[in-house]
Amino acid sequence: MSLSHQPTPTQQQKSIRARLLQPVTGLQGKLIVPYVLLTLILAAIGTYVTTRLVTSSLRDRITNQLVQASRVAADTTIRRERTHITQLRDLAFTVGVPEAVVAGDVETLQSLLTVKVINQRIEAVVVFDRNGQVILALAENSQKDQYLFSKGFNFTYFEPVRRVLAGEVDKQGDKFTGVTPTTTSGPTLFTVSPVVNASGELVGGIAVGTFLKTLVVDTHDQTLSDIILLDNNHQVLATNLAQIEEGYTGLINASKDAVPEEANFHSVELNRRGFRVSFTNWKVRGESLGWMGVILPNDYIASTETRSRTTFLYIFALGTAAMILIGYLLAQLIARPILRLRDMSQAVAGGDLEQSIGLRQSDEIGELAGAFDTMTLRLRERTAEAARLYEETVQRNKELAEINARLQAMQLQLIQSEKLAAVGQLTAGIVHDVKNPLAVIKGLAEVLQDDATITDETRHELQVIRESAEKANRIVSDLLKFARQSLPEMQSHDLRETVEASIRLTTYLIREARIQLVKEIPEQMMLVTYDPQQIEQVLINMIHNAIQAMPNRGTLQVRLHQVDGTASVAIQDTGTGISPENLKRIFDPFFTTKPEGVGTGLGLSVSYGIIANHKGRIEVESEQGKGTKFTIYLPVE
């Protein structure tokens, strides 16, 4: 009795710990860890020293920060006003605008100006006539995703509009600027320009506007300071400050103490926080529109120090990461060949012989790698030879199986052909002897029916005799047709035409049975060598069978395809289907699954013989309750 050795829990824990520590305790760890620790220490010292130096410099410059921010804020307004003038020139001198202003043609103005307004991202545009009546006004909504349209109000309440309509010209030119409220986004800075016709006559004007809240946001982005705009009455026009609950009065009072053309610095308290504010006279085109305040928190130095520390921390972090990456790459150049040799050895031991180290080093590791590759190559060649022999054996088995399947198919076709031949010989011997007596019986029944002396009961019985003789005559005729199958007259025809003709001949039956027909016939010609009359007879018979298999409506699908030199016609129904035991006998003569008196059981047998004479084949798939699919295969040549 032998006992297998099972690792203890302590051994398992040691194994897990060894795998987790392998990146550190292994060859790579011994090369990389000391390098990483030294780099991190140097980065931390550099970050601290650099941040201290930058902070000292910031404290010296903070006094001038408000002045610089005020200048940048004023420049932002000037640039915006210059942009207005450029946009006004483009709009006012657009061909057709003066004429549309004179005519008050809103649609023409929209078609001429809307695209330019959208492309230039103009927030507000107002076009007015000689009397100050607004013809077209466009303004962005609060979401800035569409323009709102209005018209019909009088714009002469706006001082710059009155000055333009009065034809005033000052030292700045014939364009005037002012602030007026809008219904969409509050107070708006407008620059107004006259519109003149070809003769130089004033016909109206155009105003281009920027929402003050947009101007405040742009100024804030430029100065990194909070901004507040006041009118000349020290009423707030726009600001990016959050809702101020305490100290708002102090900010307004500071603006009232400001003196134009001087540096005005004030300390205020907002929401229990200390701020420094600088007010400057807000001028556009030489005219005062109010006051602009630039606000910085007293803790700006601390926040700037934090930002500087963060910035330099990022810089040193990136530098540290780069140094670590370089160290890692150097370690890889040393450790990678050995680790790769280890991994390849484990892979080959596991059965993977497609591995190759591929090292081209001129040292001992390179010699070891070359010997390993040679050993692996020889093992791979021997394994490949064994695999090739195995594949040849499998391929031969497959070929034998295919040959066996073809032999079985040929045997089945031979049996079917023998059945048809036997029935044909039997039929040829009895058909003529049977048809003559049937004709006599039918004729005598017709003569006796015309006799006026017989009773109605006798006349009815004679009618039954006559109908039975006709039925027997049809069966004998089908037998004769089956026995006299003629050789097909093989000619090259378009198989599509035969399929279409078969469908046309059965259209009435399809419509009467309320069956949905689905055709899938290619547009290009499909030339096949066959006997059109015989193939048409086969198709009509199969379509008729499909219709009879769907007594409660259904779908009939007829598909024509050509693949690899073989044309196929598939006829599929959604009828009752054929049971597996009957599926093996459907091509036998006189076998039928139809109700008594409906069929003779020779249709599929005749069809089978016709397709066999064409060197083709018929395949059938069926599932009870879901339908049946007959597929006819004909060689193209």
pLDDT at 41 over 70: yes
Read off the amino acid at residue 614: H
**What confidence score (pLDDT) does residue 142 get?**
74
State the residue for tokens 């497959």: 398
- For residue 35, give Cα distances in angstroms to 24, 26, 320, 325: 13, 15, 11, 11
Structural contact between residues 220 and 228, judged by C-beta atoms closer than 8 angstroms: no
Mean pLDDT of 164-189: 87
Q: Is 161 in a helix, a strand, or coil?
A: helix
Q: Write the CA distances from 142 to 207, 229, 470, 556, integer angstroms.
A: 20, 20, 91, 61
C-alpha span between 243 and 570 (Å, rounded): 78
The single residue listed with the structure tokens 């040691």 is 14
Element (H, E) at 469: helix 456-483
The predicted model gives 26-32 an average pLDDT of 60
What's the confidence (pLDDT) of residue 561? 92
* Per-chain mean pLDDT for the chain: 79
How does pLDDT run across 117-134, given as a tens digit for each residue? 888 889 899 999 999 999
Write the CA distances from 87 to 112, 133, 135, 150, 210, integer angstroms.
14, 21, 19, 20, 12
State yes or no: pLDDT of 292 exceeds 50: yes
Closest by CA position to 278, among listed 226, 212, 216, 217: 226
pLDDT for 573 equals 94
Q: Looking at the predicted structure, is the pLDDT value of residue 309 above 60?
A: yes
Beta bridge partners of 555: 516
Is it the case that residue 260 has pLDDT exceeding 60? yes
Q: How confident is the model at residue 451 (pLDDT cuts 50, 70, 90)?
A: confident
Distance CA 436, CA 546 (A): 34
Full-prediction pTM beyond 0.75? no
Q: Bigger pLDDT: 443 or 279?
A: 279
Reduce the DSSP state of residue 82 to 3 states and report it: helix
Report which of residues 617 and 21 the model is more confident about: 617
Q: Say if CB 145 and CB 129 are below 8 A apart.
A: no
The token pair at 592 is 């039928």
Q: Which residues contact 210 (CB under 8 A, 6 or more apart)?
A: 80, 84, 123, 124, 188, 189
**Which residues does 126 contact at the CB level (< 8 Å), separation at least 6?**
134, 136, 137, 155, 190, 206, 207, 209
Most confident of 10-14, 473-477, 622-626: 622-626
The CA-atom distances, in angstroms, between 421 and each of 426, 537, 586, 604 are 9, 20, 17, 15
pLDDT, average across residues 458-468: 81
Distance CA 217, CA 211 (A): 10
Q: What distance in Å separates the CA atoms of residue 622 and residue 545, rounded to the nearest whole number?
A: 13
25, pLDDT greater than 60: no
- pLDDT at residue 3 greater than cutoff 50: no
User: How sure is the predictor about 32, in pLDDT bands with cuts at 50, 70 and 90?
Assistant: low
Counting every residue written for the chain, the total comes to: 637
DSSP string, 568-613: EEEEE--SS---HHHHTTTTSTT---SPTTT--S-HHHHHHHHHHH
**Residue 16: which pLDDT band, with cuts at 50, 70 and 90?**
low
**pLDDT per position as a tens digit, 71-106:** 787 788 888 888 989 999 999 888 999 999 999 899
Q: Which domains does the chain have, with CATH numbers?
A: 93-215 (3.30.450.20), 225-298 (3.30.450.20), 353-484 (no CATH), 491-635 (3.30.565.10)
How many whole angstroms separate alpha carbon 546 and alpha carbon 572?
Answer: 7
* Segment 401-421, tens digit of pLDDT: 888 877 776 666 656 555 655
Mapping DSSP to helix (H, G, I), strand (E, B) and coil, where does residue 176 land?
strand
The predicted-structure confidence for 353-380, as pLDDT tens digits, reads as follows: 666 766 666 666 677 777 777 887 788 8
Confidence of residue 208 (pLDDT cuts 50, 70, 90): very high
Task: Give the whole-number percent of the chain exceeding pLDDT 90.
Answer: 18
Over 90: is that where the pLDDT of 332 sits?
no
- Residue 139 CA to residue 125 CA, distance in Å, equals 6
Q: What is the CA radius of gyration of the chain?
A: 50
Least confident of 52-61, 226-235, 572-581, 612-621: 52-61
Which two three-digit tokens encode residue 616?
A: 């083709």
Percent of the chain with pLDDT over 70: 75
